[in-house]
Amino acid sequence: MLLAGKNVLVTGGTSGIGREIAVRFALEGASVIISGRNEERGMDVVREIEGQGGNAIFVRADLRKYDDIMKLIDNVMKNVSKLDVLVNNAGVLHLNYIEDLTLDQWNECLMVNLTAPFLLIKGLIPLLKGGGVIINISSTAGLSGYPTGAAYCSSKAALIMLTKVAALELAKYGIRVIAIAPGVVDTPLIYQGIPGDKVDEYREVIKERVPLKTIGKPIDIAELVLFLSSNRARYITGSVFVIDGGLTAGRKESGISFK
């Protein structure tokens, strides 16, 4: 087992990528602390993990709220004396053109996607010293912008820079810090705002845009997170790993016609 005896915190661990990461970590021997807003879904993940012989607890935390973030940090400190892996996975998506984007939407994206990871990193450094790993789940939206993505793209781009700075600062403590930038992954988030009867059509359109002609699955991201969290990746820090089926590799066509 890659993470036998390790303690892990996964934010946003009640669904999608976060849930898959939590379950995968538990199968590799880690004791997992799962945080999220929905207690029912959180306990469902705990039961799934325990049903497979793993160990997990759920801590309710709304990362839009400063007090909840501080309580989560306190809770982790009470439950473990050492934290081996912190996965900042929780995220929120607001899509709106700049002229229509509200300050509340902007602030919520930055709070959950950037400020919460910053506060968790800052608050949990004492538990991570001596070999801890921090994995920040960014996005290809943090590498390449698009219309309506001002808040989301900005927050994810800033998370990548926070990763790099933290990697430089925390290396003296033996803490590795890494960012992962997923492309399109089949979770409820990518269908936000899409009418139910249009989901299948939307999925096919997305597939056509991806060079590998497929949409990523949460397990694809979880497997990468697992590797980067293990000692097999002991020499990796400050890096950004893109996992997007080739979506951001470049244009599929040159635009030049050859006869």
Angle at 65 between CA 59 and CA 71, to 5 degrees: 40
Cα separation, 16 vs 47, whole angstroms: 16
Query: Which residues contact residue 115 at a Cβ distance below 8 angstroms, ignoring those fewer than 6 apart?
Result: none
Query: What single letter denotes the amino acid at residue 82?
Result: K
Task: Give the amino acid at 78.
Answer: K
Cβ proximity of 132 and 84 under 8 Å: yes
Q: What angle do CA 187, 189, 193 make, to 5 degrees?
A: 125
> What are the residue numbers of the active site?
152
Q: Pseudo-torsion of CA 187, 190, 192, 196, nearest 10°?
A: -70
The single-letter DSSP state of residue 143 is T
- Name the phi and psi angles at 112, rounded to 5: -75, -45
